[in-house]
Amino acid sequence: MGRHASETQHIQQISVEKDKDLQTQSDNSKQNSVRRWLALGGVVLVLLFAGGVVWPRLNLEGQSASIAAEPFMTDYPSLGPETAPVIIVEYGDLGCPACWAWHKLGVLKDIRAKYGDQVRFVWKDFPVVTLDSPKAAEAAQCAHEQGKFWEFHDAIYDSDNPEAIGQNDLNAYAVKIGLDMNQFNACVDTRRYRDKVNNQQREAFEIGFNGSPAFLVNDQPFVGVQRFEVFEKVIDSLLAPER
């Protein structure tokens, strides 16, 4: 009996060690995936600023200037109160590997956890990385129409594949977060928010941004994947006069 119990304990110990090894391998794999996409994002940004890559731009000509005055054109997805002393605007692309990696780092969550209502975070579309990016941006605005932009945003960035933004993928995300699919499909099919997305993209180019993610922190520009410490330093300096 003693030898049998000892053998059983030994087998259980081996099983536990194997489980730990598998968990460690899984965690390492996820970390390596984020690192790879961060590195790719850095290369993309270097090429963009060097002029080595020309990303497809939407046709921004022929749009009516008056359309910008319509309420839905300036209703941007945001987190935090309008009265916040610090406003961070992300010009992002839902098909951008570097944007996906930035989300995986949890920087936005860390900012909101530390600063709360002192910071307002605003999303603006800058779909310049893939050919599917404009349609993904429009679909996200259709989700915003139903009050679920951030759920749609998170569904995309929480996926394991930053390039999964084809129409079938977008439909799957919409179903997952519980959108009214008839309303969503009608919105996407008619490209209801094409002009809104185009206007935001044009705004980013006019600021001087050439790649995503790009940020404005109270009008201070930052380009590329920025860690929490970068935002922390800037936010603290902006809040210092109030303290």
One-letter identity of residue 125: D
- Helix-strand-coil percent breakdown of the chain, rounded to 5? 60, 10, 30
The residue count for the chain: 243
**What pLDDT was estimated at residue 31?**
52
* Percentage of the residues of the chain whose pLDDT score is greater than 90: 66
**What pLDDT was estimated at residue 241?**
75
CB 123, CB 94: distance < 8 Å: no
Picking from 100, 96, 196, the residue whose alpha carbon sits closest to that of residue 139 is 196
According to DSSP, residue 177 is labeled T
**What pLDDT was estimated at residue 242?**
63
**What pLDDT was estimated at residue 163?**
87
CB 199, CB 165: distance < 8 Å: no
Residues of the chain with pLDDT under 50: 1-5, 7-8, 10-12, 14-16, 18, 22, 26, 29-30, 33, 37, 39-71
The residue behind tokens 């179903």 is 175
Q: Which helix (H) or strand (E) holds 231?
A: helix 228-239
Which ranges of 51-146 does DSSP label H, i.e. alpha helix? 97-105, 107-115, 133-145
Give the chain's domains with CATH numbers. 65-242 (3.40.30.10)
Q: Which helix (H) or strand (E) holds 234?
A: helix 228-239
pLDDT tens-digit map of 38-58: 544 444 444 343 333 334 444
